[in-house]
Amino acid sequence: MLTKEHCKTALQERLLALAGTSLDEASASDKYAALASLVRDYIGQRWVDTTRRYDDQRQKQVYYFSMEFLPGRLLDTNLSNLGIRDVWREALAELDIDYTELLSAEHDAGLGNGGLGRLAACFLDSLAALGLPGHGCGIRYTYGLFEQAIVDGVQVEKPDSWLKDLNIWEYRKTGKAVLVEFAPPLGIVKAVPYDIPVIGFDNRTVNTLRLWSAEVRDEFCVNYSSLGPEDYRKLLEYKNGVEAISQILYPDDRYEEGRQLRLVQEYFLVSAGLKSIIRHIKRKQGSDLRRLADQIAVHINDTHPALAIPELMRILMDEEGLGWDEAWDITIHTISYTNHTVLPEALEKWPVGQLQSLLPRIYEIIHEINERFCAELWQRYPGDWDRIAAMAVIADGFVKMAHLAVAGSYSVNGVAALHSDILKNDLLNLFYQHAPQKFNNKTNGITHRRWLLTANPGLAGLITGTIGPTWLHRPDHLTELLPFATSTTFQQKLAAVKQDRKEALAKFIFDRYHLALDTRSLFDIQVKRIHAYKRQLLNALRIMDLYRLLKDNPQLDILPRTFIFAGKAAPGYYLAKKVIQLIVTLAKQINSDTAIQDKLKVIFLENYNVSLAELIIPAADISEQISTAGKEASGTGNMKFMMNGAVTVGTLDGANVEIREAVGDENIVIFGLTAEEVAACYQTGRCNPLTVYNQNERIRHCVNQLIDGSLPVIGDEFKPLYDYLLHPGGAFLELQDFAAYLEAQERLDRLFRNDRARWQVATTNIAHSGRFSSDRTVTEYADAIWHIRPSESPASLI
């Protein structure tokens, strides 16, 4: 048993050993480093034991290959998962150390763009919590996603050098390096793994997130005697070329055609990952790989690691001496694939020439996969050239990565019911017709441990105090809160928790931006990547509408609202950056206008990341999930908000559909065109925004504000947004959904005027959020796709 006294002594000793400092002299980072390094001590044995258990029991293990992992800070989570968070908090308090401040000394690990990377991190947390043998495989980018600052209303990007101080959680495994081979001039590159422990909640499991770093290989030695200036230049060039591979995360969540370095990164990841897995399997279970598909599962997170398919073929044939048919049989029983987007501009395709010159053998294999696949199609659909051309892996001079991923895997899934239907009926319909048994749905989830237990300890405490702690292991037990939805006492306590979180956020905003918020106003929040289809612009337009109504009639009876935005735009995404500029401009105009009596405030918070999300989401009254129906594959922010008792206003898109199913129509505010209506709208060309603009004066007035000088900007800064909105068929139906959105906001206003009703809705949302825990999602993947089993019994059963 770890006692407070142990903690206090241990911390002081570790401070002396690590930083050579006493407690009084130590900085927050010193204290953070000392505590984190103690956590390393605690987990070492469990980590070794877990690995040994998996090996001894010859457990089937899953490897989750992803170009992105977005874990955020780890200290709080790790302490919590180890069950020593409370004792440490108390010990630190007795030493007069502020726990939250100490946690903030940790750099937020941002090796991902958004939803896809955060999902991967939630899955790792759930795998470990469920005692499942599953590990992450990714890239150790020296620079994570850029840090965003707003300067003169405009997004500016700064490098995120998260490794500049020591990263306590990683273990460099020099001895486990592998070589990855590219065509010259890059040639052979050394991949060095850095392992990060993934600690299970309240059990003995510690899994591994293995991140690969690119280095020049040892044999690449220098002939000192002939080191002329020219050699030196070449040497540097080569070294830089190699190290560039794991230098930077691509900051765009749309595909940019033909970025050579991105392709290099993708192959680097899959080749290093597969080589090390196969080496391990051979060491532990012998050199016969014919049963590989029973020993491991390899999951590819979107198409970014889809080169795992030809790479596994290459290893099995060229290095292990198997024939094509045998290798193919193993490959398509080992690899499974999740699609995360239907947006055409985000579907990867690589120019044939580029792949061929960088990875000649891999291209040869893809070519053969395509030949055989097309032959199979020809057998099945003789003469149907159009169909075969539409399904080919190589077509029009490109390798289509989604086609490769479907052809080379045994399972293809979408991330919400609606999204999976769109894959089956639309985007991948021909593949579905061809192999329907491959297709399935796995609705996304989020770890309730990070997004409720540690992000909102007040709410977690209230829940445990009300229904007991079993929800921690069994999030579906949150439904036991339902009888309390109408309890006045419970409602009051819930309101107090929300108020406390709103005040914490308001304090942060005041300290950082010197803007004072009315914490009794409704916190109406939209935080996520800035993207046209997510329609932050629709939200901005409605704020412009509301502001105008208030200007015309300052006595207008509305509930005061604080609109909070945060999110990064891809550096090259012009329109998204314009949207940020518009929001910041509105904030400037509205916040300084005394005529509206503080009824509205707008703020754009810089540098949205996991840690900021943990501060923002618990403080939300209203969660904005307003993408054009059919475009947001799932969304996961929507789940985090509901779990923290916010009311969703949203379209019938992604997982919103299932949230509505879970909570019932009266506990969510749904508006707008359905996915089918949206599709019909685009197809029939009935979606000309000009029609709406011409017919609806209120909307016209709003849109005109972008260009008529009402906004405090010089020149026609927002003309591009105006043009975008009115471009026939171009926009994401912002204007078509505008009236419905305004009406939905009125419904929300009515709901929030009724205190009893609104806390009932909040409670009902929390109660049904267990269905959206990633424990549920990961269990479904484990049972139906990966066929893996827990290696220890779940803690709740012990």
CA-only gyration radius of the chain, Å = 27
The two structure tokens encoding residue 463: 């829940």
| Beta carbon of residue 411, minimum distance to ligand 26W (angstroms, whole number) | 16
Active site residue ranges: 340, 528-529, 534, 636, 640
Q: Please count the residues of this chain forming the interface with ligand 26W, following the rule CB under 6 A.
A: 22
654 binds ligand 26W (CB under 6 A): yes
Shortest distance in whole angstroms from residue 256 CB to ligand 26W: 7
How is the chain split among helix, strand and coil, in percent rounded to 5? 55, 15, 30
Q: Which of 627, 669, 635, 641 is nearest to 655 (CA)?
A: 635
Say which residues have a Cβ less than 8 Å from residue 527's Cβ, sequence separation at least 6: 564, 565, 566, 567, 605, 608, 613, 616, 617, 637
Which CB atom, from 255 or from 432, has the smaller least distance to ligand 26W?
Answer: 255
Q: Helices H, strands E: what count in the chain?
A: 32, 23
Residue 525 and residue 617: Cα distance in Å, rounded?
8
Which residue's CB atom is positioned nearest to ligand 26W? 115
Question: Which DSSP string corresponds to 522-535?
Answer: EEEEEES---GGGT
d(CA 676, CA 101): 49
Q: Which is nearer to ligand 26W, 28 or 346 (CB)?
A: 346
| Footprint of ligand 26W on 483-542 (CB under 6 A) | none
d(CA 266, CA 404) in angstroms, rounded, equals: 14
Q: Does the protein bind ligand 26W through residue 635 (CB under 6 A)?
A: yes
Q: Which stretch binds ligand 26W (CB under 6 A): 107-115, 124-132, 616-624, 711-719?
A: 107-115
How far is the C-alpha of 344 from the C-alpha of 395, rounded, in Å?
Answer: 16
Region at 598 (left for phi over 0; alpha for psi -120 to 50; beta for the rest): left
Q: Which residues contact residue 610 at a Cβ distance below 8 angstroms, ignoring those fewer than 6 apart? A: 70, 71, 72, 73, 108, 110, 118, 121
Contact pattern from residue 124 through residue 143 relative to ligand 26W, giving x for each residue in contact according to CB under 6 A and a dash for the rest: --------------------
What residues between 409 and 438 interact with ligand 26W by CB under 6 A? Answer: 415
Q: Which of 633, 675, 762, 766 binds ligand 26W (CB under 6 A)?
A: 633
**Which of 8, 31, 299, 340: binder of ligand 26W (CB under 6 A)?**
340
Region binding ligand 26W by CB under 6 A among candidate stretches 71-79, 102-110, 228-236, 340-348: 340-348
- Are the CB atoms for 64 and 304 separated by under 8 Å? no
Residue 116 vs 332, nearer CB to ligand 26W: 116
Give the separation between CA 270 and CA 245, rounded to whole angstroms. 13
- Residue 521 CA to residue 512 CA, distance in Å, equals 20
Shortest separation between residue 62's beta carbon and ligand 26W, angstroms: 17
All residues at 6 or more sequence positions from 280 whose CB lies less than 8 Å from its CB, including other chains: none
In the complex, minimum distance from the CB of residue 445 to ligand 26W, in angstroms, rounded to a whole number? 10
User: Do the Cβ atoms of 594 and 504 come closer than 8 Å?
Assistant: no
Query: Distance between CA atoms of 580 and 223, rounded to whole angstroms?
Result: 53
Binding mask 437-476 for ligand 26W (x = CB under 6 A): -------x--------------------------------
**Dist. CA 634–CA 359, nearest whole Å:** 34
Residue carrying the six token digits 């005697």: 225
Site residues (CB under 6 A) for ligand 26W, limited to 108-127: 113-116, 119
Give me the least distance between CB of 115 and ligand 26W, in Å please. Answer: 3
Of the candidates 633, 658, 648, the residue with the CA atom closest to the CA atom of residue 771 = 658
**Total count of residues recorded for the chain:** 798
E strand residue ranges, 311-462: 335-338, 349-351, 394-395, 398-400, 411-414, 439-441
What is the closest distance, in whole angstroms, from the C-beta atom of residue 393 to ligand 26W in the complex? 18
Residue 667 CB, shortest distance to ligand 26W, in Å, is 21
Q: Name the β-bridge partners of 167.
A: none
Element spanning 348, H or E? none
Using CA atoms, how far apart are residues 5 and 510, in angstroms rounded to an integer? 37
- H/E element, 268: helix 260-285
CB closer to ligand 26W out of 232 and 574: 574
Residue 405's SS3 state is helix
Q: How far is the CB of 65 from ligand 26W (least distance, A)?
A: 14
Closest CA to 186 of 269, 270, 264, 274: 264
Tell the smallest beta-carbon distance from residue 541 to ligand 26W (Å).
22
Residues 342-401 that bind ligand 26W (CB under 6 A): 346, 348
- Closer to ligand 26W by CB, 632 or 737: give it: 632
- The residue within the footprint of ligand 26W, chosen from 81, 341, 420, 447 (CB under 6 A), is 341
- Of the residues 632, 658, 734, 737, which one makes contact with ligand 26W according to CB under 6 A: 632
735 binds ligand 26W (CB under 6 A): no
In whole angstroms, what is the distance from residue 122 CA to residue 106 CA? 19
Query: According to CB under 6 A, which residues from 35 to 94 bind ligand 26W?
Result: none
Looking at beta carbons only, is 278 or 649 nearer to ligand 26W? 649
Among 334, 634, 656, 774, binds ligand 26W (CB under 6 A): 634
The answer to whether 405 contacts ligand 26W (rule: CB under 6 A) is no
Please state, in angstroms and rounded to a whole number, the distance separating the CA atoms of residues 158 and 162.
Answer: 12
For 504, counting Cβ atoms within 10 Å of its Cβ (0-12 exposed, 13-18 middle, 19+ buried), the class is middle
- Which of 302, 311, 606, 734 lies at the binding interface for ligand 26W (CB under 6 A)? 302
Q: Which of residues 241-260 bind ligand 26W (CB under 6 A)?
A: 252-255
**Is residue 642 a contact residue for ligand 26W (CB under 6 A)?**
no
Q: Pick between residue 259 and residue 474 the one whose CB is nearest to ligand 26W.
A: 259
The nearer residue to ligand 26W, 444 or 456, going by C-beta atoms, is 444
What is the enclosing helix (H) or strand (E) of 224? Answer: none
Q: What is the DSSP letter of 438?
A: G
Identify which of residues 581 and 648 has a Cβ nearer to ligand 26W in the complex.
648
Question: Smallest gap, in angstroms, from Cβ of residue 736 to ligand 26W?
Answer: 21
User: Tokens 């010259």 — which residue?
Assistant: 184
Closer to ligand 26W by CB, 60 or 531: give it: 531
Kindly tell me which of 116 and 766 has the beta carbon lying closer to ligand 26W. Answer: 116
Binding mask 583-622 for ligand 26W (x = CB under 6 A): ----------------------------------------
Measured from the CB atom, the residue of 115 and 144 that comes closer to ligand 26W is 115
How far apart are CB 152 and ligand 26W at their closest, in Å? Answer: 29
**Least gap, CB of 774 to ligand 26W (angstroms):** 11
**Residues near ligand 26W (CB under 6 A):** 113-116, 119, 252-255, 302, 340-341, 346, 348, 415, 444, 632-636, 654
